[in-house]
Amino acid sequence: MSANQRVSAGIHASTLSFFREPLNIALLLILPALSIQIYAASLSQLPETGMFATVDSLTTTGKITGAVFATGALTGILGLFQMISARSADHRLVIAGFSPIELVISRFTTILVVSLAISAVTTATLAWLLSDSIGAPLIVFSSLALAGIIYGLLGMLVGTILPQELEGSLLLVILADMDNVFASGLFDIDESITQFAPLTHPNELVSHAVTDGALETAHVLPGIVFVVAFGVLSIGVYTYCINEGED
């Protein structure tokens, strides 16, 4: 079997394993709407008296923040479970002739495919729940996909270092929630701090695409930098663990 065939087989198996699970499909359909509504309802209860830094309505800000959170958290947990379920199996596949890079490409491509699916559902849900139409739906979709890929890679990294379903999931949800506090723009936090929050850049891209219908180009490159950084870290740690035969 050639390298391309091995990678294709890995992608096919990993992707099918996600979409075959009824719970995964339920989360894919329910979590975005639930998250958007919860964030919007929470912020809409607060008085708009100038205590927040955002110029948009709190309800709109809440819906956008909820959409980014849902995409990041759901894809991150997928990345976590990908690594947990794959550790011992992938070590045996390496012995059978697969290279670690082929396996990690398969895992990453699965994250990419599912991230696009989650982003599509979240974009449609956001468009449905917003009172006004989205200015640039394609940019919103792409920006949410960026958030998903960032957290999918982070989930892969967490799943490799901390291969525990409950603890890893809680860690990712807490990280995504705290990340959203910095990324939301609600608070007047210095940009030198917020730029290090992974969801800041996708959130800014989504916000401007929704309200202005424009691409905030200043946040594209930093978002890609997070993808590269988490990608290199997750590949390095994963390859080390596979070669060492940890399970």
Question: With contact defined as beta carbons under 8 Å apart, do 160 and 234 qualify?
Answer: yes
Structure confidence at residue 133 (pLDDT): 81
Cα radius of gyration (the chain): 18
CB atoms within 10 A of CB 166: 7
Structure confidence at residue 54 (pLDDT): 57
Structure confidence at residue 82 (pLDDT): 77
Structure confidence at residue 47 (pLDDT): 60
Mean pLDDT by 10 residues, the chain (247 residues): 69 71 77 85 67 63 89 89 72 68 78 88 90 88 94 89 86 89 75 84 92 89 94 83 60
Structure confidence at residue 50 (pLDDT): 55
**Could you tell me the residue ranges of all domains in the chain?**
3-244
Structure confidence at residue 62 (pLDDT): 83
- Helices and strands in the chain, H and E counts: 9, 0
Structure confidence at residue 246 (pLDDT): 47
Q: Tell me how far apart the alpha carbons of residues 197 and 105 are, in angstroms, rounded to a whole number.
A: 26
Place of tokens 């391309």: 4
Structure confidence at residue 10 (pLDDT): 67
Structure confidence at residue 31 (pLDDT): 83
CB atoms within 10 A of CB 227: 15
Structure confidence at residue 107 (pLDDT): 78
| pTM, 2 dp | 0.85
